Amino acid sequence: MAKLWGGRFQKDLTENVEDFLQSVEVDSKMVLEDIWGSQAHAIMLAKQDIIKAKDLKEILLYLDKARADYLSGKFVLDPENEDVHMNVERYLIEGAGADCGGKLHTARSRNDQVITDSKLHIRNKIIDVKEKIIRLQETFLAIAEENTGTAIPGYTHTQDAQPITLGYWATAYVSMLNRDITRLDNAYRNVNTNPLGSAALAGTSFPIDRRMTARLLGFDSVHVHSLDVISSRDFVAETLCALAILMSNLSKLAEEIVYWSTYEFGFLELDDSYTAGSSIMPQKKNPCVAELTRGRTGRVYGSLIQLLTTLKGLPMGYNRDLQEDKPPLWNALEIIEKTLVVTEGMISTMQVKKDRLKQVSGANYNTATELANYLVREKGYSFRKCHEIVGNLVGTLHRQNKLFTDYDITLKLLADAGVEMDEASLKNIVDPEKNVKAYKSLGSTNPKEVKRMVGIFKKDVLKSKAVIKKQNAKTDAAWKKTQDIVAKVLDGKEVKTMKI
Ligand code: ARG
């Protein structure tokens, strides 16, 4: 089949070259976007008197048919037509005839078209990812609310450090995920600008109206510079970067789940439906969801590096290398969306072993810092001196196989070090659930603080949802506006008479 761009060629592509160049499989995610972008462009061309009303009607008729046929599986992208843009245009030309269908590409290039399509696609995907993050945040908030005072060991260097509460741990993840949402929103801002009308690189001599297509496609603004926007894929890199960091964050959670669910830690038991067995060891229940989250993080980082490497050293202007932006993005999006769904399921169904947490909390001198703090306040010594007194105490107790809760010995050793202390005060400090109440600073593990933070994070979740609602409302309204105009034109109304 002759190519739509075939005028200056005397020979066809070899089959291998054709296959090498085509991107229909990758582009198949953007068929509806390509049709919407084409509708907006055609409407604008007619409104600006660049094409005639009767041509617009035909073009919109066949674009509508293309969508219906695509959705019913009748219109399938053909690799011979190279990409989604040429496939849709070919469909149109075959239906409306070359004279009419061939007019759609006036003042447009595949260079601005492909970015338009991917921007329309990516902004929806960003919202899907944000929605899934929010679901995970809500799950953590439910755990936090129930456990503002449940003491658990808090770690540094994966060594028992100070008591914290389970609610404090859970809200840490909510707080972390808030930043992932912020990063995705930042990416969204750079995604949602209108590239259409940049044409190949230099703009066009036709009197197009780029603000009109921005309105019809729900973009926040017209991208300010045509050469810049057709050359740009940093908005893809930015999205991928946000996804890579998100995956890094999820892998942190995954790692904790892996060892917290070991027999030795025993802090939690994963639900059967979120684990896998062993083919040889009948007793095994493996945290494979968490492990593959950790493992697939490499694939998402790989996607980011893949894109950045593709972009490195590309000069201004469209270069075919840019076609390679989508596979890594699609890959990362697919992994992230699946990971978020199963992670939320894993966390919401896991069983926290409170007895075990009680047993280990405070059993390893992790209240020592607070004991030193007490001595600072009560005795007026320097913190460094108190650190040494308590360090000596822990060392001696440890050598004698004793704990702070061996109160008589602890009090005696303290007295030997010149510190008189009553048993009630000691008990108050070395009991982890009481210990955490001593914390006073903003953002600390004190149950009251955790409760306060839960309140703040609940509001943040509501705000994130409101942003999504606004983003969706804008794109939905633009979609509806375009489709309303299409329906009216097909009904015989002229765009010249419409307010667009
Ligand atoms: N399939 C191409 C891509 O994804 C579309 C743009 C082609 N532009 C061109 N000048 N050949 O980047």
Residue type at position 479: W
Distance of CA 226 from the midpoint of ligand 1 (Å): 16
444 DSSP 8-state letter: S
Contact 60, 39 (CB under 8 A): yes
Rg (CA), the chain: 31
For the question of residue 387 being annotated catalytic, the response is no
The response to whether residue 318 sits with its C-beta less than 6 Å from ligand 1 reads yes
110 lines ligand 1 (CB under 6 A): yes
Nearest CA among 258, 193, 252 for reference residue 226: 193
Q: From the alpha carbon of 26, which atom of ligand 1 is closest?
A: 4
What is the DSSP pairing of strand 193-194 with strand 221-222? parallel
Give the whole-angstrom CA distance, residue 50 versus residue 92.
18
Residuewise pLDDT in 10s, the chain (500 residues): 778 888 899 888 999 999 999 999 999 999 999 999 999 999 999 999 999 999 999 999 999 999 999 999 999 999 999 999 999 999 999 999 999 999 999 999 999 999 999 999 999 999 999 999 999 999 999 999 999 999 999 999 999 999 999 999 999 999 999 999 999 999 999 999 999 999 999 999 999 999 999 999 999 999 999 999 999 999 999 999 999 999 999 999 999 999 999 999 999 999 999 999 999 999 999 999 999 999 999 999 999 999 999 999 999 999 999 999 999 999 999 999 999 999 999 999 999 999 999 899 878 999 999 999 999 999 999 999 999 999 999 999 999 999 999 999 999 999 999 999 999 999 999 999 999 999 999 999 999 999 999 999 999 999 999 999 999 999 999 999 999 999 999 999 999 999 99
Six token digits for residue 191: 């995604």
pLDDT of residue 254: 98
CATH class of 111-148+155-207+221-360: mainly alpha
323 CB under 6 A from ligand 1?
A: yes
DSSP 348-408: HH-EE-HHHHHHHTTTTSTTHHHHHHHHHHHH---HHHHHHHHHHHHHHHHHTT--TTSHH
Please tell me whether residue 418 adopts helix, strand or coil conformation: coil
Measured distance CA(153)–CA(111) in Å, rounded: 56
278 is catalytic: yes
Indicate if ligand 1 lies below 6 Å from the C-beta of 83. yes
Tokens of 116: 């338009």
Q: What are phi and psi of 152, to 5 degrees?
A: -140, 160
Provide the residue type at 259 as one letter: Y
As a whole number of angstroms, the distance between CA 164 and CA 145 comes to 14
Is the pTM higher than 0.85? The answer reads: yes
Q: How far is the CA of 73 from the centre of ligand 1 (A)?
A: 24
Q: What CATH architecture applies to the domain 6-106?
A: Orthogonal Bundle (1.10)
Q: Are 64 and 56 in contact (CB under 8 A)?
A: no
